[in-house]
């Protein structure tokens, strides 16, 4: 029976133990209602088309129909946000988890291997489900109409861009790929990325992006030069900072900011302290408000500041906070932001 106002969730995993654990986690949250469970992808697709849930929690490695194929079918039949909950893949299959985001998944989470990990997952999973359900309540037509009414004003193309700082969370891997695909190769700038992601998946994300882009993408190392052509991801447990000598510093001593380490605010603030007038800051889809304060400071110091627009965001939390803080000069879909950045980069090297 449907409970008024609750978020309807379907769990798809071939492990009865995992399904039971996820169900118990969600039952502790009064906002969530588990309306169905399936042990394979094919049955999961059937449940989604008949039960019409608000959110799906799905594994990738399953019998009959794997998670990738199931997500694709759901996207075609009954588009619904999918949170992937999967074990850390072997090194030779690392990028496959993020290929799920190309199929339509909005986030990849790791299955915990110990009880404490499941306790931590409880908050993360419930928060994401709430954010995704809230995002679905905004009519796309209304959001698009709002964008059409405000024609974006493009900052002067004469501005130089030598560094690009990017922040993303929920829905970020696919949005980041769309942002980066239009950029020239070799990239005539250094790009630093803070992506809030489950610890242990950062190498997988770097590998996936490198394969899709055909360029140098890796997890950042302390003291590594922030050189043109390099795309570097912040590792877990460290703030990624740009220094005055054009190197990357991994700060493991500064406490988390608003619960985040790495923090997008810390990245943007470091750019504002060092090379603000030749830095472009971009905030993409994600929960919360990380990045808003730092991006506002970057803009105040002369940086170029952008954010993903509402209708293309999986979750509009981070871009909304940046917009409301007055930090953003331009708000567009990621691919259009990438095309615009490409124009700045071409002018910077001409």
In a domain, 143, yes or no: no
CA 144 to chain centre: 21
pLDDT at 80: 94
In a domain, 258, yes or no: yes
> Could you say which of 136, 171, 203 is where a domain stops?
136
In a domain, 247, yes or no: yes
pLDDT at 149: 40
The verdict on 159 and 301 lying in the same domain is: yes
> Residue 92 pLDDT more than 60?
no
CATH number for the domain harbouring residue 113:
3.40.50.2300
The verdict on 167 and 48 lying in the same domain is: no
The verdict on 160 and 128 lying in the same domain is: no
The verdict on 174 and 126 lying in the same domain is: no
pLDDT at 150: 53
What are 252-309's pLDDT values in tens digits?
999 999 999 999 999 999 999 999 999 999 999 999 999 999 999 999 999 999 999 9
| Active-site residue flag, 196 | yes
The verdict on 70 and 170 lying in the same domain is: no
What are 3-29's pLDDT values in tens digits?
667 999 999 999 999 999 999 999 999
> Residue 142 pLDDT more than 60?
no
**Which residue has better confidence, 136 or 311?**
311
Calculate the average pLDDT of the chain.
91
The verdict on 132 and 159 lying in the same domain is: no
- Give the least confident one: 91-105, 138-152, 214-228, 323-337: 138-152
pLDDT at 347: 80
- The residues facing 165 across adjacent strands are 192, 281
Instruction: Kindly indicate the confidence band of residue 89, based on its pLDDT and cuts at 50, 70 and 90.
Output: low
Buried b (16+ CB within 10 A) or exposed e, 288-317: bbbbbbbbbbbbebebbbbbbbbbbbbbbb
The verdict on 198 and 284 lying in the same domain is: yes
| Closest of 239, 231, 261 to residue 164, by C-alpha | 231
Query: How many domains does the chain fold into?
Result: 2
Percent of the chain with pLDDT over 70: 92
The verdict on 132 and 262 lying in the same domain is: no
In a domain, 146, yes or no: no
pLDDT at 145: 42
The verdict on 121 and 185 lying in the same domain is: no
In a domain, 251, yes or no: yes
Instruction: Kindly indicate the confidence band of residue 141, based on its pLDDT and cuts at 50, 70 and 90.
Output: very low
Percent of the chain with pLDDT over 90: 75
CA distance 233 to 282: 14
pLDDT at 158: 76
In a domain, 287, yes or no: yes
**Which residue has better confidence, 198 or 73?**
73
Contact 272, 157 (CB under 8 A): no
The verdict on 129 and 189 lying in the same domain is: no
pLDDT at 90: 63
In a domain, 288, yes or no: yes
What are 327-342's pLDDT values in tens digits?
999 999 999 999 999 9
Give the domain extent around 286: 155-349
| Active-site residue flag, 169 | yes
Among candidate residues 68, 196, 249, 260, the one labeled active-site is 196
Name residues whose C-beta falls within 8 Å of residue 116's C-beta, 6 or more positions apart in sequence: none
The verdict on 122 and 13 lying in the same domain is: yes
The verdict on 132 and 163 lying in the same domain is: no
- Give the least confident one: 71-80, 98-107, 174-183: 98-107
CA distance 205 to 154: 31
pLDDT at 147: 45
CATH number for the domain harbouring residue 299:
3.40.50.180
pLDDT at 82: 95
> Could you say which of 136, 163, 186 is where a domain stops?
136
CA 22 to chain centre: 22
pLDDT at 69: 95
> Could you say which of 79, 102, 136 is where a domain stops?
136
Contact 348, 160 (CB under 8 A): yes
In a domain, 145, yes or no: no
| Active-site residue flag, 88 | no
Among candidate residues 290, 309, 313, 331, the one labeled active-site is 290
What are 176-229's pLDDT values in tens digits?
999 999 999 999 999 999 999 888 789 889 999 999 999 999 999 999 999 999
Among candidate residues 13, 29, 68, 169, the one labeled active-site is 169
> Residue 104 pLDDT more than 80?
yes
């Amino acid at each position: 029976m449907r409970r008024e106002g609750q978020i309807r969730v379907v769990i798809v995993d071939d492990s009865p133990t995992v399904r039971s654990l996820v169900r118990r986690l969600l039952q502790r949250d009064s906002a969530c209602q588990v309306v169905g469970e399936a042990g394979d992808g094919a049955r999961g697709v059937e449940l989604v088309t008949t039960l019409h849930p608000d959110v799906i929690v799905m594994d990738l490695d399953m019998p009959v129909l794997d998670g990738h194929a199931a997500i694709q079918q759901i996207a075609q039949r009954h588009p619904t946000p999918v949170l992937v909950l999967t074990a850390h893949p072997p090194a030779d299959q690392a990028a496959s988890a993020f290929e799920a985001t190309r199929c339509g998944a909005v986030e990849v989470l790791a299955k915990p291997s110990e009880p404490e990990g499941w306790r931590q997952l409880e908050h993360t999973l419930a928060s994401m489900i709430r954010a995704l359900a809230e995002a679905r309540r905004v009519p796309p037509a209304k959001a698009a109409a709002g964008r059409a009414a405000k024609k974006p004003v493009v900052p002067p193309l004469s501005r130089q861009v030598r560094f690009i700082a990017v922040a993303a969370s929920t829905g970020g891997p696919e949005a980041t790929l769309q942002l980066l695909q239009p950029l020239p190769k070799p990239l005539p700038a250094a790009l630093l990325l803070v992506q809030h992601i489950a610890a242990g998946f950062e190498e997988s994300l770097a590998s996936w992006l490198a394969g899709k882009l055909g360029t140098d993408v890796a997890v950042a190392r302390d003291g590594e030069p922030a050189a043109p052509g390099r795309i570097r991801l912040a590792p877990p447990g460290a703030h990624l900072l740009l220094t005055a000598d054009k190197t990357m510093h991994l700060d493991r001593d500064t406490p988390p900011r608003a619960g985040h380490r790495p923090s997008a605010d810390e990245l943007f603030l470091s750019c504002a302290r060092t090379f603000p007038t030749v830095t472009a800051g971009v905030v993409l889809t994600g929960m919360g408000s990380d990045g808003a304060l730092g991006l506002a400071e970057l803009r105040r110091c002369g940086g170029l500041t952008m954010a993903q627009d509402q209708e293309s965001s999986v979750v509009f939390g981070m871009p909304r906070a940046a917009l409301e803080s007055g930090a953003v000069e331009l708000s567009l879909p990621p691919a259009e932001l990438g095309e615009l950045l490409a124009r700045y980069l071409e002018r910077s090297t001409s």
